[in-house]
Amino acid sequence: MPPGPNRPVVLKVAKRGAIPPFIVMDVMRAANEREAQGEDVLHLEVGQPGTSAPGPVLDAAKDALSSDLLGYTDALGLWDLRHRIARHYQEFYGVSVEAGRIVVTTGSSGGFVLAFLSAFEAGDRVALASPGYPAYRNILNALGVEVVDLETGPETNFQPTPELLDRAARGSPKPLDGLIIASPSNPTGTMIHAAELKDLVEYCRDKGIRLISDEIYHGITYGEAAETVLAHMDDAVVINSFSKYFSMTGWRLGWMVVPRDLLRSIECLAQNLFISPPTLSQRACLKVFDCRDELDANVAHYGENRALLLERLPKAGFDKLASADGAFYIYADIADLTNDSQDFCARMLAGTGVAATPGVDFDPGRGHRYMRFSFAGQLAVMAEAADRLGRWNR
């Protein structure tokens, strides 16, 4: 029967949007609702620094607001900022990078979209570690790219290895087209150490696999410094952000280092998808590279939080923890406590006011027995959270 005045037309909804939610945001909403009802919450769920942008960045933003029209910039970003990021690679890693290969993006999230669209076709196979950052998987799925899970565990420090890649390659007649790595990683905080990183680079080079390295937690480490994949190869895609080490999450600015063969594709995609990155944030970020003392003091503070939780979480019953080499996360195996991490985290929030993230956000297959604590907040909050968890989990 054709549609009439009282019979609405059912319109099509694209399937690419039918991807899982980012569950940590659901947890944060529940925590905020609890706060709105007058209950206190200790926030260990969201992965963002508890510190503001450095003072010189705030001053630069104020100057730009009062003296600049803040129009569009080039799609690839302000040339001055691209040059400053290139200089950062020489200062921070001792690696030379051409400023022309730097692409400023709307957060690292914009970088992932540009990288995946430019490097992979629908139907390509891209491997990533599980557990891992859920947006990799969800963006790839929305683009029609096949995600190949590499189930990692403590035996590989929750990181991919050539052996795991070989096993994944044997499981399909189609070759692997890409690999996404993150060191330090979210949610585990684990790192790929120098020798293992070199092995992965050589494997990808030999097999013709496009390597994408998420380096947004570089600078936040508690022993060995993180090494950029650019120390080993020029044709990887590197994605970084001003959100984590630089303490500028809401400014929505990141960057990519891209190989020459992808540069024009990424520029055309950026022109059409984003026009340009946020101008105010770009102008302000020019100052952040000169704030290392303040930023490293933040990392020292995270280190105190980490040490406290690594000592006291086991006493509260959370005694199977990933190594937490970097970033500001502790990933806990809670199989002895529950088989439903979402329910466990909901009950924990209701019973203690401590908000944390269930592992199903990061590992669809095994996350029901894991959870993540973020320790980017204040030391007193970490101490109080440990006390409450100890009393609740007896």
Looking at residue 3, what is its pLDDT?
59
Task: Give the orientation angle of helix 162-170 with respect to helix 194-207, to 10 degrees.
Answer: 30
pLDDT under 70 in the chain at which residues?
1-5
> For residue 206, what is the enclosing H or E element?
helix 194-207
Examine residue 184 and say whether the peptide bond preceding it is cis (omega within 30 degrees of 0): yes
For domain 15-52+292-392, give the fold. Answer: Aspartate Aminotransferase; domain 2 (3.40.640)
Closest residue by Cα to residue 220 from 255, 190, 258: 190
Asked, colleague to colleague, whether 15-52+292-392 and 56-288 share their fold, the answer is yes
The residues with which 126 forms a beta bridge, in sequence order, are 147, 178
Residue 366's nearest CA partner among 327, 331, 314, 392 is 331
Q: What tokens does 109 get?
A: 């999230």
* Tokens coding 230: 């650019």
Going by the DSSP 8-state scheme, the letter that residue 2 receives in this structure is -
Query: How far apart, in whole angstroms, are the C-alpha atoms of residue 114 and residue 106?
Result: 10
Question: What burial class does residue 12 get, using C-beta atoms within 10 Å of its C-beta: 0-12 exposed, 13-18 middle, 19+ buried?
Answer: exposed
Q: What is the pLDDT of residue 139?
A: 95
Rounded Cα distance, 25 and 21, in Å: 8
pLDDT at 9: 80
Q: Which of 112, 106, 115, 84 is nearest to 97 (CA)?
A: 84
One of 3.30.930.10, 2.60.120.260, 3.40.640.10, 3.40.50.2300 is the CATH number of 56-288, namely 3.40.640.10
Cα-trace Rg, the chain: 22
φ, ψ of residue 343 to 5 degrees: the values are -65, -40
Distance CA 118, CA 98 (A): 20
Contact 341, 114 (CB under 8 A): no
- Kindly state the tokens that stand for 220: 């936040």
Peptide bond into 131 cis (omega under 30): yes
Bond before 277 cis per omega within 30 degrees: no
Quick one: which H or E segment has residue 343?
A: helix 341-352
The three-class DSSP label of residue 51 is coil
Residue 21 has a pLDDT of: 73
Cα(292)–Cα(1) distance, integer angstroms: 68
Per-residue pLDDT, 301: 97
* Cβ pair 200, 183 in contact under 8 A: no
Q: Distance (Å, rounded) from C-alpha 66 to C-alpha 85?
A: 25
Position 222, amino acid:
Y
Domain ranges of the chain: 15-52+292-392, 56-288
